[in-house]
Amino acid sequence: MELKKIIGESGFKFNKRFGQNFIENDTLLRKIVELSGVSANDKVVEIGVGGGTLTRAISEKAKFVYGFEIDKNLKPVLQKSLAGVENAEIIFKDFMKENLSELEKEIGEEYVVVANLPYYITSPIVMRFIEEAKLCRRIVIMVQKEVAFRFCAQPSTADYGAITAAIGLWGESKIILDVDRTNFYPQPNVDSAVVRIDKSYEDKGLIDKKAYRDVVRAAFSSRRKTLANNMINCFKISRDKAESILSGSGIEAAVRGETLSVEDFIRLANFCKKENIV
């Protein structure tokens, strides 16, 4: 049965507060799952189940799907759209309030995140997995195209920012699929893209994750200012101290934060930690 028909028969009303845009195109759904690399050995966490079309497509390939949906009004829709799907559990909760540690205990093994994320909560959800998850090994997400550019940007570009540096520490990100707005119901005002982030298991030599976060936050606190000026303002240190730290980290004093690579940020964070700046 078509999703539009199920929605109509269920009397469901879209809630703008939740940024609901569902995918109907079966070819696109299969393509997303294919590019996600999900196999029969994988458990998957999905955020924003929506109409259940992506959930069903994932369930055809995965071992099990844990799907989170904040809108309980979708229950009658999902009862129909996921009829016959036995390897998926729909959890009607706000994922951002879920105990991730307890969820991972229940999952009991490494898992993959696959989701068509509501635009309004994209970055917080990605950051939560990056900063808190212990067992997540890959994140595959549909996001607004301009957000996809930020997630995958290179240093010294306009799209490169704090979240790019955070993602870069966790793993390798790339845009794997462009998605036109006409593939959604209701149709949004922007195009989307699917981003795949594969966790890096390499030891990059970072001493302290909090130090890294603090340094990145300071570097991008004011894009128009030099890195030295931002460090002076954020860490309450003298110019001489800021320039000494940068020199000790192999970074020129006059650079701006957006020119630094992940490796640069690691060296700077380590030096700041040793100097008790962060």
pLDDT tens for residues 64-107?
999 999 999 999 999 999 999 999 999 999 999 999 999 999 99
62-65: long-range contacts (C-beta < 8 A, 24 or more apart)?
62/38, 62/87, 62/112, 63/87, 64/88, 64/89, 65/89
| Same domain membership, residue 256 and residue 131 | no
Q: What is the DSSP letter of 235?
A: H
Residue where a domain terminates, one of 147, 176, 199: 199
pTM: 0.94
**CATH no. for residue 116?**
3.40.50.150
Instruction: Give the CA distances from residue 163 to residues 122, 181, 212, in Å, rounded to whole numbers and listed in that order.
Output: 11, 24, 12
Report the length, in residues, of the chain: 278
| Same domain membership, residue 234 and residue 190 | no
Tens digits of per-residue pLDDT, 220-255? 999 999 999 999 999 999 999 999 999 999 999 899
Encoding tokens for residue 8?
A: 């109509």
| Same domain membership, residue 252 and residue 136 | no
**In the chain, what percentage of residues exceed pLDDT 90?**
96
**Does residue 188 carry a pLDDT above 80?**
yes
Residue where a domain terminates, one of 199, 219, 237: 199
pLDDT category of residue 1 using cuts at 50, 70 and 90: low
Q: Where are the alpha helices (DSSP H) in the chain?
A: 3-10, 26-36, 53-59, 75-81, 100-107, 122-132, 145-151, 162-170, 209-219, 227-235, 239-248, 262-274
- Quick one: 245 exposed, middle or buried, by C-beta within 10 A (0-12, 13-18, 19+)? buried
Number of domains into which the chain is organized: 2
Q: Is residue 204 part of a domain?
A: no
Provide the domain limits for residue 23: 3-199
